Chains A and B, each alone.
Chain A
Amino acid sequence: MNLKKALLPIALFAALAAGSAEAQVNVMLPANPGGGWDATGRQAFQAMNEAGIYTDGVNFTNKGGAGGTIGLAEFQGGQRGKPDALAVFGAITVGSIILNQSPINLTDFRPVARLTAEYLVIAVSADSPHQSLQDLVAALKADPGATAVGGGSAGGVDHIALALLAQAADIPVADVNYIPQASGAETVTGIVNGTLAAGISGISEFAQFAEQGRIRILGITSADRKEGLDVPTFKEAGYDIEIANWRGILGAPGMPDDNYQLWVDRFTQLNESDAWKKVLETQGWDQFFLAGEEFGAFIAEENERIATVLKEAGLAQ
């Protein structure tokens, strides 16, 4: 701690000497404006600014495409060794890297912090005969072809969650009739009009249609029940699965240790700030904080788990 305190004035001085352009933080948002990653990055720094944790300029770069792998590949190459270069990424990136055989190596980056999660829910039409998750899984087991399940793109978090569910119920993952939909809206309409026997997606995309009485949510992938949503977890239903669409922050490969520690501290402070809590509430995100090397270990675990599932589903070699 002392070292850091001593370094701070020096760092400040160096920053001033180098001019304002150098003092700026570069943040890669590997998605187009308006999406979840874009919001995560911008809102986090907005909250940091409000809470007085970091109030200087931030330079955002949007570079969407292929589950974040395009932007992250550019970040990996272009910002190597930079002291204040960060990138937003998430669970989807992990799957996309494997699926697209992208040359990105996640262990190359410095894991700063995992910030938020959105848990997934599985739902059926309100007039579906399936009243519980067990009912649905039984149907899936009896005739997987006739029990089409819709969700996000192939190999995405939704698909992986369903594959894990199948695994837990001893259904061959390759037999599952998973139909990727172009958007959450299409999944919802597909469930309601009976094209899909069930659908899987983030809570925010399904919750209000359940409130409207159009669909029935059968299970949630979180560890504990979510407040305000009377739905059992997958674990309660007897399937030992926990999965979330998490989002976090990576530091540039070869980021100097002092800067790295500084950013881990800043995001830890952010996580405890009221400004961030307000953001979580308005956006409907769940807090899912993990910092530093522990987060690095988590990424490695996720990588392992997702790779195994994708192989079983026949999507990756």
Chain B
Amino acid sequence: METFSLLLQGFGVALQPINLFYALLGSVLGTAIGVLPGIGPALTIALLLPVTISVAPTSAFIMFAGVLYGAMYGGSTTSILINTPGEAGSMMTALEGNRMARAGRGASALATAALGSFVAGTIATLLLTFAAPAIAEIAFYFRPADYFALTVLAFTSVAVVMGSSRVRGFVSLFIGLALGLVGIDQMTGQARLTFGVPALFDGMELAVVLVSLFAVGEILYVASRYRKNASEIVPMRGWAWMSWEDLRRSWKPWLRGTALGFPIGALPGGGSEIPTMLSYTLERRLSKHPEEFGHGAIEGVAGPEAANNAAAAGILIPLLTLGLPTSATAAVLLAAFQNYGLQPGPFLFTNNPELVWGLIASLYVGNVMLLVLNLPLVGLWVRLLSIPAPQLYAGILVFATIGIWGVSNSVVDLIAMVIIGIMGYVMRVYDFPIAPVLIGLILGPMAEQQLRTALAAGQGNPVVLVSTPLSVAFLVLAGLFLLAPVVLRRLRAGA
């Protein structure tokens, strides 16, 4: 058990008071900045990069690991309580989580999110400890056709968030797809749908669309329909965090979410969006209470939350074992390694075992720390809802503005915020579902890029799209997800 003794040494490093302090600092910073809409872990760590000049490498990476996990926790809190996901990974959490909060079960939602993240983070860290090299190979196994099939599978999540009208659901999806096309086409370098505005060359910032649709749209809508006596939120009924019933319904989604999030997080470009969407779809399809979905089903919070935390751990695997940065966050961490003159990869394990194992051990420590920080804070967070509505919504708008302005310092983004916010208002008034816009915006560019790469490499032969076992498996699964409810209904009707 060489790994085990190395891990013990790692704990020796991670549990030093100074490193515990950095883990705490990172967790708190990550949570604080994760609460700010639009500012995710990648930007937070990038902003903290200058500390690499004055802090020892082990301590710095322990802090960054805290930021990574902390940002994931912070993002889910705002999703649940005020329907404002901080980043795309917590969008699916908002769907059910905010419904739960409105029904006075905000504390249960926060608790299942915190516990689910903890469970997912712990399992993922265990896998990282004992099976990292094997899992890292997944990254090399995936071909463009597989990615394309994976995005097709993720697109099935549109079906479950379609809302009452299919036409309006598709309108939402296509608006998202159109927004995703804005910017310079990576494959040919041509500007698409930018209409000569240079600020649009890099495309619509996902954070801007996310924050505008959810936060600004909500503020406009509620403002126009707000009556003081209509305020019937039940802010505090959930003081007792989770009932046994909640726990019984949560543990399977936690595990399934982890199983989805971890490997997809380890893929280049995998990220946390696809696993959370898939997890939500899966839970909705498997649930014994499908009627509760859309009205606050706890499974719809537990699964995606576990998935997004597992994905956060997943990105560390190819980074540490291969030196392969698979996401923006990983690329920033790689830059941090380079600031110390270190090169992550197999040689890092032999040359700097203290750093690597200290970092891995600190992930365990960080997980426990975040749980300890967040569970008691659940009560405090829920109290946010007892702020009177005028000041609560005013505060949300201020934070949304800070988030959008802080990301890019672009007035064009602020203009986009208002336009997309008005769109969010119209969509609420005329009952268009919001989530398909974001699904289209996130998956559209990915699907197009992978499809074109696959076809270009296969010189235009479409057979290449079903040339690997994985791509076939994903496409079949996508078909099952879409057709299963129809077939089941037929069977039941026939019986």
Question: Do the two chains touch directly in the complex (Cβ atoms below 8 Å apart)?
Answer: yes
Considering only CB atoms, which chain B residue lies closest to A187 in the complex? B268
Contact among A65, A196, A208, A283 with B345 in the assembled complex (CB-CB below 8 Å): A208
Chain A 32-60 interface 0/1 with B at a Cβ cutoff of 8 Å (1 = within): 11110011001000100000000000000
Contact among B188, B323, B339 with A315 in the assembled complex (CB-CB below 8 Å): B188
Contact A193 B141 (CB under 8 A): yes
Considering only CB atoms, which chain A residue lies closest to B340 in the complex? A282
Q: Given A182-B269, A196-B457, is A34 in contact with B45 using a C-beta cutoff of 8 Å?
A: yes
Considering only CB atoms, which chain A residue lies closest to B185 in the complex? A154
Contact A39 B409 (CB under 8 A): no
Contact A281 B457 (CB under 8 A): no
Q: How far is the CA of A143 from the CA of B93 in the complex (A)?
A: 50
Q: Does A90 contact B (CB under 8 A)?
A: no
Min Cβ gap A128→B in Å is: 15
Q: Does A137 contact B (CB under 8 A)?
A: no
- B residues near A155, Cβ cutoff 8 Å: 189
Contact A183 B323 (CB under 8 A): no
Q: Given A34-B332, A69-B201, A208-B323, is A183 in contact with B269 using a C-beta cutoff of 8 Å?
A: yes
Q: Does B139 contact A (CB under 8 A)?
A: yes
Q: Does A180 contact B (CB under 8 A)?
A: yes
Considering only CB atoms, which chain B residue lies closest to A145 in the complex? B459
Min Cβ gap B177→A in Å is: 18
Contact A192 B268 (CB under 8 A): no
The interface-forming segment of B47-55, B277-285, B304-312, B472-480 is B47-55
Considering only CB atoms, which chain B residue lies closest to A211 in the complex? B347
Q: Does B487 contact A (CB under 8 A)?
A: no
Considering only CB atoms, which chain A residue lies closest to B326 in the complex? A185
Contact B187 A154 (CB under 8 A): yes
- A residues near B417, Cβ cutoff 8 Å: none
The B interface, classified by DSSP as helix, strand, loop or mixed, is helix
Chain A 294-317 interface 0/1 with B at a Cβ cutoff of 8 Å (1 = within): 000000000000000000000100
Q: Given A154-B187, A179-B456, is A195 in contact with B144 using a C-beta cutoff of 8 Å?
A: yes
Q: Does B103 contact A (CB under 8 A)?
A: no
Q: Does B335 contact A (CB under 8 A)?
A: yes
Contact B46 A34 (CB under 8 A): yes
Contact among A42, A66, A315 with B202 in the assembled complex (CB-CB below 8 Å): A66
- A residues near B49, Cβ cutoff 8 Å: 33-34
Q: Does B12 contact A (CB under 8 A)?
A: no
Q: Does A269 contact B (CB under 8 A)?
A: no
Q: How far is the CA of A70 from the CA of B194 in the complex (A)?
A: 14
Considering only CB atoms, which chain A residue lies closest to B48 in the complex? A33
Min Cβ gap A41→B in Å is: 12
Contact B53 A148 (CB under 8 A): no
Min Cβ gap A281→B in Å is: 7
- A residues near B202, Cβ cutoff 8 Å: 64-66, 70
Considering only CB atoms, which chain A residue lies closest to B141 in the complex? A193
Contact A195 B198 (CB under 8 A): no
Contact A182 B142 (CB under 8 A): no
Contact among B47, B339, B453 with A195 in the assembled complex (CB-CB below 8 Å): B453
Q: How far is the CA of A208 from the CA of B322 in the complex (A)?
A: 9
- A residues near B326, Cβ cutoff 8 Å: 185
Chain A 174-207 interface 0/1 with B at a Cβ cutoff of 8 Å (1 = within): 0001011111111011101101100000001000
Min Cβ gap B276→A in Å is: 20
Q: Does B17 contact A (CB under 8 A)?
A: no
- B residues near A177, Cβ cutoff 8 Å: 456-457, 459
Q: Given A34-B49, A148-B457, is A73 in contact with B198 using a C-beta cutoff of 8 Å?
A: yes
Chain B 292-325 interface 0/1 with A at a Cβ cutoff of 8 Å (1 = within): 0000000000000000000000000010001111
Contact A99 B140 (CB under 8 A): no
Q: How far is the CA of A155 from the CA of B188 in the complex (A)?
A: 8
Number of interface residues of B (CB under 8 A): 52
Interface centre among B141, B347, B449, B456 (most CB of A within 10 A): B456
- B residues near A105, Cβ cutoff 8 Å: none
Contact B187 A179 (CB under 8 A): yes
Q: How far is the CA of A181 from the CA of B142 in the complex (A)?
A: 14
Interface bin, chain A:
35 or more
Contact A34 B331 (CB under 8 A): yes
Q: Given A182-B449, A315-B188, is A193 in contact with B46 using a C-beta cutoff of 8 Å?
A: no
- A residues near B47, Cβ cutoff 8 Å: 33
Q: Does A268 contact B (CB under 8 A)?
A: no
Considering only CB atoms, which chain B residue lies closest to A186 in the complex? B268
Q: Given A33-B47, A66-B198, A315-B189, is A100 in contact with B338 using a C-beta cutoff of 8 Å?
A: no
Q: Does A256 contact B (CB under 8 A)?
A: no
Chain B 332-357 interface 0/1 with A at a Cβ cutoff of 8 Å (1 = within): 10010011110101110000000000
Q: Does A146 contact B (CB under 8 A)?
A: yes
Contact B449 A146 (CB under 8 A): no
* CB interface residues, B 240-276, toward A, < 8 Å: 268-269
Contact B345 A282 (CB under 8 A): no
- A residues near B341, Cβ cutoff 8 Å: 281-283
* CB interface residues, B 38-60, toward A, < 8 Å: 42-43, 45-47, 49-50, 53
- B residues near A2, Cβ cutoff 8 Å: none
Q: Given A32-B46, A185-B324, is A99 in contact with B189 using a C-beta cutoff of 8 Å?
A: yes
Contact among A61, A154, A185, A196 with B268 in the assembled complex (CB-CB below 8 Å): A185
Min Cβ gap A314→B in Å is: 9
Contact among A69, A145, A189, A281 with B142 in the assembled complex (CB-CB below 8 Å): A189
Q: How far is the CA of A104 from the CA of B134 in the complex (A)?
A: 48
Q: Does A212 contact B (CB under 8 A)?
A: yes
- A residues near B6, Cβ cutoff 8 Å: none
- B residues near A172, Cβ cutoff 8 Å: none
Q: Does B441 contact A (CB under 8 A)?
A: no
Min Cβ gap B248→A in Å is: 40
Q: Does A273 contact B (CB under 8 A)?
A: no
- A residues near B268, Cβ cutoff 8 Å: 182-183, 185-186, 189
- B residues near A238, Cβ cutoff 8 Å: none
Q: How far is the CA of A223 from the CA of B296 in the complex (A)?
A: 64
- B residues near A188, Cβ cutoff 8 Å: 324
Min Cβ gap A126→B in Å is: 12
- A residues near B325, Cβ cutoff 8 Å: 183-185
Q: Given A182-B269, A183-B268, is A282 in contact with B45 using a C-beta cutoff of 8 Å?
A: no
Min Cβ gap A3→B in Å is: 37
Q: Does A131 contact B (CB under 8 A)?
A: no
Q: Does A79 contact B (CB under 8 A)?
A: no
- B residues near A145, Cβ cutoff 8 Å: 459
Q: How far is the CA of A190 from the CA of B267 in the complex (A)?
A: 12
Q: Given A33-B49, A155-B189, A212-B346, is A193 in contact with B140 using a C-beta cutoff of 8 Å?
A: yes
Considering only CB atoms, which chain B residue lies closest to A156 in the complex? B189
Q: Does B184 contact A (CB under 8 A)?
A: yes
- B residues near A186, Cβ cutoff 8 Å: 268-269
Q: How far is the CA of A180 from the CA of B185 in the complex (A)?
A: 10
Sort A-B residue pairs by CB-CB distance and give the 8 closest, nearest first: A34-B46, A282-B341, A33-B46, A154-B189, A66-B201, A34-B332, A65-B202, A185-B268
Q: List 11 A-B contacts (CB under 8 A).
A: A35-B335, A65-B201, A66-B201, A73-B198, A99-B189, A177-B456, A185-B324, A190-B144, A193-B143, A195-B143, A209-B322
17 additional contacts (CB under 8 A) given A33-B43, A195-B454:
A33-B47, A35-B331, A39-B338, A65-B202, A65-B408, A100-B198, A145-B459, A154-B189, A179-B457, A185-B325, A186-B269, A190-B453, A193-B143, A195-B144, A208-B345, A282-B338, A315-B189
